[in-house]
Structure 1
């Protein structure tokens, strides 16, 4: 299942604390996960940036929101208890709790809408999008990278096939293949190349080689099993045990299944979507425009 949205976590958190006892952050997170039937696997799903688990991020913001709204209190670092206002909410046996309830609290309004900054806000609960600031940042991050990936593919499609082959070798060098050796990778693609477009050393000393087939094909093209079979045959002709088929197009399910079944020859398939993701991640063909640092409290600093 998908990790529940923030608004789904408000009520389970209050239910966890309704016994009036103190509970740790871990106890609260475990209770919410059990209440909403979130599996251990789903709890490990990361935000797009890869910096934190989605579930833990949303659970943390849930505690923050309820605390700002005066429904729970923190008695010490990482320890929480329900407040009198929180108990009153549960007495009505609500089926759910929404952001509109929190916005009735002036402290929460100032925190959420930023009224202390001097801005006049006429928003109503129905105008406000539920979710954490972290979610908003992650969604914006995804959108920017998605648009960038589309632009990268468009640029690549304007290049010559030879340039694309060089781009692939350079990408692998940026990832770390070939180590620090001079000429760690080379472009082979030419008449008589027998289906091999490039070669890259897998390690710094060049003990093993990875053979590459790079195809700048139309983005809408689907590459099937026959092309992968040809590539495996080309690898066998070179006595190679490792091959990378990288393209701007996409692969069919049969192509992926066939590649996975190879035992004597390891074959990795990289389509246009993964190609652009790797280019962005390893700064090939892109440059950093802005850097934003998102910081959180250092609990260890304030502990005894």
Structure 2
């Protein structure tokens, strides 16, 4: 039979979460929904074009992800989630269907649908809404799909970073900076990071392989508490005490507007890297992530068909 799409799976998945005794996993949901929908073993063996995952498992996973974004489900721990009060209230209305249009009634889902734009010169972000799939070209749909997958990966990566130990976080910082061309060798960088602890400085790293200049590092593995102006001022003061003018302040959280404004007004060159920027840099430099599939996009080679050549 034709497998139901992920939107068709939202209502039965939410119903299952509503009657389950506590938290559930996607694998448990797959087993229950497969029985409810009378799927055969052959149906369940259908793979995505990449051959990396079962299609039905993938669609149940995306149904769960979208309902989490709308606040109908909530994660409880790694790989587990449960229905929320909002989800129970929706089920009480006995909806005939739950789809993306239903989820758009919740502001959190609308926010999720926004593509994170690049920062303008004024520090503001240009926001673009994802177009309805039915109105996009195949190229646009591919770009939107890639962006959604990357954003989901960044979210998962940030959760990982917030859960690891401070020592392991330092190793991540080392790996990233070396991949970006700083610190000379990895052993040099490893010796530099985490050795100072002097007045708001966590480490010192070479700016280039020759060590012509150095960069001072501050790394805070914080959960949701934003880094404010006082912490950045302390770091700037520590740089001044070392007669240095270059620093990188990295956090898994975010920086307040006051902190960013302060950095823009002082003479020292301090780069602030928040959780979102950190995960994007890690993805770009293949730190903590790995490639599972590649989809080459090809076009006609007009020179090949030029008979005059």
- Once the two structures are superposed, what CA deviation does each residue of 1:193-237 show, in whole Å capped at 9, x if it has no partner? 32111222111201011110000011x222221111111001112
How far residue 298 of structure 1 moved from its aligned partner, in angstroms, is 2.5
How far residue 166 of structure 1 moved from its aligned partner, in angstroms, is 2.1
Q: How does 1:239-254 map to 2 (within 5 A)?
A: 239-254=243-258
**Structure 2 Cα separation of the partners of residues 138 and 273 of structure 1:** 20
Question: Cα gap change, 1:181/1:215 in structure 2, threshold over 3 Å: closer, same or farther?
Answer: closer
- Count of equivalent residues: 179
How far residue 285 of structure 1 moved from its aligned partner, in angstroms, is 0.6
How far residue 179 of structure 1 moved from its aligned partner, in angstroms, is 4.1
How far residue 302 of structure 1 moved from its aligned partner, in angstroms, is 3.5
Question: Cα gap change, 1:259/1:156 in structure 2, threshold over 3 Å: closer, same or farther?
Answer: same
Question: Cα gap change, 1:300/1:191 in structure 2, threshold over 3 Å: closer, same or farther?
Answer: closer
Match of 1:261 in 2: 265
- Once the two structures are superposed, what CA deviation does each residue of 1:4-57 show, in whole Å capped at 9, x if it has no partner? xxxxxxxxxxxxxxxxxxxxxxxxxxxxxxxxxxxxxxxxxxx99x9xxxxxxx
Please point out which of 269, 292, 296 is paired with 1:289: 292
Match of 2:150 in 1: 145
Q: SS state of the match for residue 245, structure 1?
A: strand
Match of 1:274 in 2: 277
**Greater Rg over alpha carbons, structure:** 1
Unpaired segments ≥5 residues, structure 2: 1-114, 119-131
Question: Cα gap change, 1:188/1:174 in structure 2, threshold over 3 Å: closer, same or farther?
Answer: closer
Unpaired segments ≥5 residues, structure 1: 1-46, 51-126
- Once the two structures are superposed, what CA deviation does each residue of 1:106-145 show, in whole Å capped at 9, x if it has no partner? xxxxxxxxxxxxxxxxxxxxx9711111111111111111
Match status 1:298 vs 2:301: yes
Match status 1:175 vs 2:171: no
- Once the two structures are superposed, what CA deviation does each residue of 1:176-204 show, in whole Å capped at 9, x if it has no partner? 11345751453443685321112221112
Q: How does 1:105-184 map to 2 (within 5 A)?
A: 129-180=134-185, 182-184=187-189
Task: Give the structure-1-normalised TM-score.
Answer: 0.54
Please point out which of 211, 214, 218 is paired with 2:216: 211
Match of 1:95 in 2: none
**Structure 2 Cα separation of the partners of residues 128 and 290 of structure 1:** 22
**What's the C-alpha RMSD, in Å, of the aligned pairs?**
2.5
Q: SS state of the match for residue 167, structure 2?
A: helix
Given that 1:165 and 1:198 are in contact with CA atoms closer than 8 Å, whether structure 2 keeps it comes out as no
Question: Cα gap change, 1:266/1:215 in structure 2, threshold over 3 Å: closer, same or farther?
Answer: same
Match status 1:201 vs 2:206: yes
**Structure 2 Cα separation of the partners of residues 135 and 221 of structure 1:** 36
Q: How does 1:74-113 map to 2 (within 5 A)?
A: none
Question: Cα gap change, 1:192/1:144 in structure 2, threshold over 3 Å: closer, same or farther?
Answer: closer
Given that 2:184 and 2:208 are in contact with CA atoms closer than 8 Å, whether structure 1 keeps it comes out as yes
**Structure 2 Cα separation of the partners of residues 251 and 276 of structure 1:** 15
Given that 1:171 and 1:279 are in contact with CA atoms closer than 8 Å, whether structure 2 keeps it comes out as yes
How far residue 156 of structure 1 moved from its aligned partner, in angstroms, is 1.2
**Structure 1 Cα separation of the partners of residues 174 and 289 of structure 2:** 16
- Once the two structures are superposed, what CA deviation does each residue of 1:253-302 show, in whole Å capped at 9, x if it has no partner? 12111112222x11000000000001111011111101111011233444
Question: Cα gap change, 1:271/1:302 in structure 2, threshold over 3 Å: closer, same or farther?
Answer: same
Question: Cα gap change, 1:136/1:262 in structure 2, threshold over 3 Å: closer, same or farther?
Answer: same
